[in-house]
Chains A and B, each alone.
Chain A
Amino acid sequence: MWHFVRLSWRDLWRNTRRSLLTGLVMTFAVAMMILFVGLGDGAHSQMIRSATESYLGQIQVQLDGYQDSPDLEHLLSSGHLAQVDAALKGMAGVKAHAPRLATGALISKKVPEPEDPDDLEAYRRMTSEGAFVVGVDPKAEREVSTLVQSVIREGCSDKSRTDCPPGRFLDDEDPYPDNPYMGQMVLGVGLAGVLDVEVGDTVALNTGGVEGRTFASLYRVVGLVKTGSLDINRTFALTHFSKLAAGMSVPGAASYVVVAIDDLDSARELALDLQARLDGQSPRAAVSPFKALSWRELSPELDVFVKLDQGSTMVTLVMLVMIVGVILANVVTMSSMERTREYGVRMAVGESPRRITWGLVTETVLLALLSGAVGSVLGEAANSYYQFHGIDFGMGEFEMTGVVLSTVYNTEVTLYGWAFSVGTVLFFAVVGAIYPAWKVSRLSPVDAIRFV
């Protein structure tokens, strides 16, 4: 057996040019496929990463029912929060967590009425806007999302102005702890633009509290956030968690707890794990009041978008495999047919057709393995390079259905990407060798030698 492989190996190098050429195609095919799969996977996890890190989080713990009825009856109490803290403590794979309180509200700029009642332009500058108000704990928030880093240096939305006051994120501690009607606020840059508000201005917030009461309070704008998500930029207003909770008369309560994890792919498993830990804390209750949800359940739309992206990558991958298949099979078939004469001579001196057939297949497999090794090195080298440097399409960042997409593509190095590429090449190389091998096994030596 070993002897046979060595013979095939030698046969391979009797015609160096031919083998090199065939090997070159195989090498290229392996390298390109590895790079392709790497790019596809890289774009994919980047999409999930940016979508979850900008705000959503990879996992959220809510009260069961909050997802469908995000109302004040489904808030986590401070007792619940302590339980969630305990469950998360020491859990492997969890980076950090932070509570948030969220509500819709109408937000308006606080300005004096225009002196001249006929001054239409002055009226046109005033406006109110629907806003998604989120109470955050600035210290904890820093660890779970990129919201804090998204604060822009300029405190106004008009880029052409040079006299913008500087902006910052909310202070770690609420500066007005005893005044329930005054707080600090950070606005999305688009929302600030619509309201014509800059740092230092005061905005009025109007939303609902318990028992249908309307709750109104004032906030001083301290900074603007600009994320890749238009949705956040246009509708988000951030304030202190404790302040918003007190204002809505639900002190200490939170809408949900955001959990940041290390490995994106394990979001679902970790959510299940966390659910089990939360259930275990209240063994006497028939049903645990908590629900731990991964981003897929939190945003079905994002899930669909990611699947759509996978679908189109899959289609292109199938097309790539087809091209590789056609080309490889052709090259292998041609280079084997070229040797019909040689086979005739070998048969004439007594070698069995069976042995020749197997020799041909063995040679092809050897060549494919060798090319696969070289191609893997090249492909994975390119892959690892782009993993850190990215392929820059030079178009900045943009957003689609809430997903921030960067136009710098990073690749991802995976075992299956490698195995898939080498496997495909091996498969088509063997397919290409089968036809000539079959043909050879049926030839008579005389015909074969005559074969042009």
Chain B
Amino acid sequence: MLWAMAWRNLWRNRRRTLLTVAAIGLGLAVLVTMSSFTEGMKVMMVEQIAQSSLGHIQLHHPDYLERKTTGLVMSSASRLLELVRDVQGVKGASSRLIFSGSIRSSLSSTVRVVRVLAVDPAQEQAFSALDDKVVEGGFVSAPPGTSDPDAPARMRARKGIMVGRKLADQLKVTLGSKVRVDTAGFDGAAVAMAFYVTGILETGTDAFDQGFGMVNLKDMQEATSAGDTVHEISVMVGDPSRVAEIARSISHAISQADGATAMGPTSVAPWWEVLPDLKQMLDMSDAWMGVLYMLMLIILSAGILTTMFMVVFERKREFGVQLALGTGPSRLFAGLVLESFLIATLASVVGLLVGAVNVAYIVAYGLDLSWFMEGFEFAGMFVENVYKGAANVKVFAEPTVVVFAGTVLMALWPAVRVARMSAIDAMR
């Protein structure tokens, strides 16, 4: 009975109700869109960084992340890699040796700092997006002549290196040039190694373009007599929301494997432990969005409150008549709350529909910001002009709950005021 009356009351002044529903609904739609946008940015950042070489999960010697000493390797690398690959949910994995040192060439007097990753090209190509960023030569390929059995031994022993564009320019090297890398060997002593440039990489990100080189893992394992050891196994998973769970499965698989003790200690870390800064950055952007969200909600609530006050006080006379005819104040109050409930429901439907259309659009096409960022022709790995949205339950549910609750809450105050009125005052 009360419901039916509230519903009818709502439509006695159609224009007013529609305006109110439209305003609250559109407000909700904007919040949903914004939510999807920020969620999308987060997913984009994590995915692009994961694909750049980090991966979602990394395996190291337990002390490696903290100390980064060359001697801290994991033995039985190929067995470990096999184990990791067999874990359900793992899409790809790549094992690496990592060397930090200085690099120079005979063509320039400059000495640069470099981080050299030794990788299995096939594994790494399937794994990271760096493959698409090679602008000259090949991806960690061997120098010409190395496979020629008639070539002199010193030719066949040459090792290839892929370097970033900026580094190549600074060292004034081109394909075929020789570079020298000074780094620490596994015994801690400084060693010098020679490589021939066989590939040049351009990503738009200084971390790769300036201080980065990639060489063949086999070459390095042979040259340093490292044998079957690596510093890092990087893992990509199919579903980024299951990273923590898959990391646990990997740990479990390793500890349960035959000869687990022989393999030595290994720590399995999800990306947020490998790069706590990135995690913090994302948390921060969450907090920042929280503040913006609050500002929007304050404005929206003020709007809803005002609307509700108007909706209610416009009908003061009507309530006076009702009170005079014997309707109890509590019944009047309940009726108004029910009305606000219905308005909130209608507004949520409108907001979700409009929001869904917006989200569908920004998920499919993204928001192109190139119009705003003039001269933003930067084909970088981590930088996209088009921001894509994300769609999940959270994106829709959070704003809806907040707006729904806000509408009903904001209607309580005017409803209480009405219930307290005396019939005579109200009718005047």
Given known contacts A17-B313, A32-B295, A301-B206, is B100 in contact with A130 (CB within 8 Å)? yes
Q: Are B110 and A71 in contact (CB under 8 A)?
A: yes
Partner among A25, A69, A106 whose Cβ is within 8 Å of the Cβ of B303 = A25
Cross-chain pairs A/B with CB under 8 angstroms, 18 sampled: A69-B169, A72-B109, A129-B100, A130-B101, A207-B102, A301-B206, A308-B383, A311-B369, A312-B387, A316-B289, A319-B34, A327-B299, A334-B20, A334-B310, A393-B288, A395-B287, A398-B281, A400-B281
The smallest beta-carbon distance between B41 and chain A, in angstroms, is 7
B16 to chain A, nearest CB (A): 7
In the assembled complex, the CB of B374 is this many whole angstroms from the nearest CB of chain A, namely 9
A208 cross-chain contacts in B, Cβ below 8 A: 104, 109-111
Known: A206-B102, A334-B310. A105 touches B111 (CB 8 A): yes
Contact A128-B307, Cβ < 8 Å, known A28-B298, A193-B66: no
Q: Does A272 contact B (CB under 8 A)?
A: no
Q: In the bound complex, do residue A28 and residue B299 qualify as a contact, i.e. CB atoms below 8 Å apart?
A: yes
- Asked if B71 is at the interface (CB within 8 A of a chain A CB), the reply is yes
Say yes or no: B302 contacts A25, CB within 8 Å.
yes
A106 to B111, CA, bound (A): 9
CB A242 to nearest CB in B, in angstroms, measures 19
Contact of A131 among B113, B207, B289 (CB under 8 A): B113
Are B19 and A319 in contact (CB-based, < 8 A)? Answer: no
- B114 contacts the other chain (CB 8 A): yes
Whether B27 pairs with A327 at a CB distance below 8 angstroms is: yes
Interfacial chain A residues near B169, Cβ < 8 Å: 68-69
B292 CB–A CB distance under 8 Å: yes
What are the residues of chain A within 8 A of B37 when measuring CB–CB?
315
B300 at the interface (CB under 8 A from A): yes
Apart from the given pairs A130-B103, A210-B109, A323-B299, 6 other A-B contacts in the complex at a CB distance below 8 Å: A32-B298, A127-B70, A301-B206, A311-B369, A320-B296, A395-B287
A171-207 near B? 1/0 per residue, CB < 8 Å: 0000000000000000000000110100000000011
Contacts of B204-220 to chain A: CB distance below 8 A: 204-207
With both beta carbons as reference points, the residue of chain A lying nearest to B286 in the complex is identified as A393
Chain B residues numbered 5-50 whose CB sits less than 8 Å from any CB in chain A: 13, 15-16, 19-20, 22-23, 26-27, 30-31, 33-34, 37, 41
Interface residues of B in 59-89 (CB under 8 A from A): 66-72
Q: Are B34 and A24 in contact, with the CB atoms below 8 A?
A: no
Shortest beta-carbon distance, B372 to chain A, in Å? 6
Q: Is B309 an interface residue (CB 8 A)?
A: yes
The answer on a CB contact under 8 Å between B34 and A126 is no
A316 to B281, CA, bound (A): 18
B-chain residues with CB within 8 Å of residue A312 when the two chains form the complex: 41, 387
Task: List A327-379 residues whose CB lies under 8 Å from chain B.
Answer: 327-331, 333-335, 337-338
User: B112 within 8 Å of A by Cβ?
Assistant: yes
Contact A123 B283 (CB under 8 A): no
Contact yes or no, B284 A395, CB < 8 A: yes
CA distance A106 to B372 in the complex (A): 44
The A interface, classified by DSSP as helix, strand, loop or mixed, is helix
> Contact check: which of A35, A130, A330, A333 meets B114 at CB < 8 Å?
A130
Q: In the complex where A68-B170, A194-B67 touch, is A207 in contact with B111 (Cβ < 8 A)?
A: yes
Min Cβ gap A288→B in Å is 23
Tell me the minimal C-beta distance from A233 to chain B in angstroms.
11
Q: How far is the CA of A400 from the CA of B285 in the complex (A)?
A: 12
- Complex CA–CA separation, A212 to B107 (angstroms): 9
The 10 closest A-B pairs by CB, nearest first: A126-B188, A327-B303, A124-B71, A330-B23, A128-B184, A71-B110, A72-B109, A106-B182, A104-B111, A130-B113
CA–CA, A432 and B6, complex, Å: 28
Interface size on A, as a range, is 35 or more
Any B CB within 8 A of the CB of A45 = no
Q: Does B277 lie within 8 Å of A400, measured CB to CB?
A: yes
- Chain B residues with CB below 8 A from A333, complex form: 19
How far apart are the CA atoms of A210 and B110 in the complex, in Å? 9
Interface size on B (CB < 8 Å)? 87
Closest to B385 in A: A311
Within 8 A of A (CB), among B272-331: 277-278, 280-281, 283-284, 287-289, 291-292, 295-296, 298-300, 302-303, 305-307, 309-311, 313-314
Q: Kindly list chain B residues whose C-beta atoms are within 8 Å of the C-beta of A131.
A: 102, 113
Nearest CB in chain A: distance from B293 CB, A: 9
A139 near B: Cβ within 8 Å? Answer: no
Within 8 A of B (CB), among A1-52: 17-18, 21-22, 24-25, 28-29, 32, 35-36, 39, 43
Alpha-carbon distance between A22 and B30 when the two chains are bound, in angstroms: 22
Known: A32-B298, A72-B110, A123-B187. A391 touches B291 (CB 8 A): yes
Render B372-387 as a binary contact track against A, CB cut-off 8 A, 1 for contact.
1100101010110001
A419 at interface by CB-CB < 8 Å = no
A81 CA to B300 CA, complexed, in Å: 59
How far apart are the CA atoms of A316 and B288 in the complex, in Å? Answer: 11
Query: Quick one: closest A residue to B109, CB to CB?
Result: A72
* Cβ 8 A contact of A125, one of B15, B69, B288: B69
Q: Which chain A residue shows the least CB distance to B41?
A: A312
Q: Please indicate which of the listed interface residues B15, B115, B306 has the most CB atoms of chain A within 10 Å of its own CB.
A: B306
Q: When each residue 57-90 of chain A gets 1 if its CB lies under 8 Å from chain B and 0 otherwise, what string results?
A: 0000000000011111100000000000000000
Q: Which residues of A contact B284 (CB under 8 A)?
A: 393, 395, 398, 405, 407
* Chain A residues, Cβ within 8 Å of B234: none
A155 to B303, CA, bound (A): 58
Interface membership of B189, Cβ < 8 A: yes
- Min Cβ gap A32→B in Å is 5
CA distance A191 to B21 in the complex (A): 60
Indicate whether B172 reaches chain A with its CB closer than 8 angstroms: yes
Give, as a whole number of angstroms, the nearest-CB distance from B63 to chain A.
Answer: 9
A326, CB-defined interface residue at 8 Å? yes
Residues of B within 8 A of A22 (CB): 306
Q: How far is the CB of A322 from chain B (nearest CB, A)?
A: 5
With a CB–CB cut-off of 8 A, which chain B residues contact A68?
169-170
Q: In the bound complex, what is the Cα–Cα distance between A126 and B69 (angstroms)?
A: 8
Q: Is the CB of A103 within 8 A of B303?
A: no
> For the complex, what is the distance from the CA of A304 to the CA of B370, rounded to whole Å?
12
Q: CB distance B106 to A212 under 8 Å?
A: yes
Q: Identify the closest chain A residue to B70 (Cβ).
A: A127
Check A399 for interface membership: any CB of B closer than 8 A: yes
B190 CB–A CB distance under 8 Å = yes
Tell me, rounded to whole Å, the shortest Cβ–Cβ distance linking A250 to chain B: 10
A21-B310, A304-B380 known; A395 vs B283 contact (CB < 8 Å): yes
Closest to A121 in B: B71
**A29-B299, A338-B310 known; A330+B22 contact, CB < 8 A:** yes
Contact B113 A123 (CB under 8 A): no
Please tell me if the beta carbons of A304 and B188 are within 8 angstroms of each other in the complex: no
Q: Indicate which residue in B68, B278, B283, B303 contacts A331 across the interface (CB closer than 8 Å).
A: B303
Per the bound structure, the CA–CA distance linking A90 and B316 in Å amounts to 73
Contacting pair B188 A128 (CB below 8 A): yes
Instruction: Give every chain A residue within 8 A of B309 (Cβ-Cβ).
Output: 17, 21
Chain B, Cβ-Cβ closest to A26: B302
Q: Looking across the interface, which residue of chain A has its beta carbon closest to that of B283?
A: A395
CB-CB under 8 A for A452 and B13, given A320-B292, A327-B27: yes
Contact call A104/B102, Cβ cutoff below 8 A: yes
Closest to B290 in A: A393
- Of A21, A104, A319, most B-chain CB atoms within 10 Å: A104
Q: In the docked arrangement, what's the CA distance between A28 and B295, Å?
A: 10
Interface residue B108 (Cβ < 8 Å from any Cβ of A): yes
Q: Is B183 an interface residue, CB under 8 A from the partner? A: yes
A383: chain B residues within 8 A (beta carbon): none
**Is B401 at the interface (CB under 8 A from chain A)?**
no
| Complex: chain B residue closest to A28, CB-CB | B302
CB nearest to B318 among chain A residues: A452
Q: Name the residue on A nearest B66 (C-beta).
A: A193
- Which residues on B sit within 8 Å (CB–CB) of A71? 108-110, 170
Query: Is A132 part of the binding interface, using a Cβ–Cβ cutoff of 8 Å?
Result: yes
**What residue of chain A has the Cβ atom nearest to residue B373's Cβ?**
A307
Chain A neighbourhood of B383, CB < 8 A: 304, 308
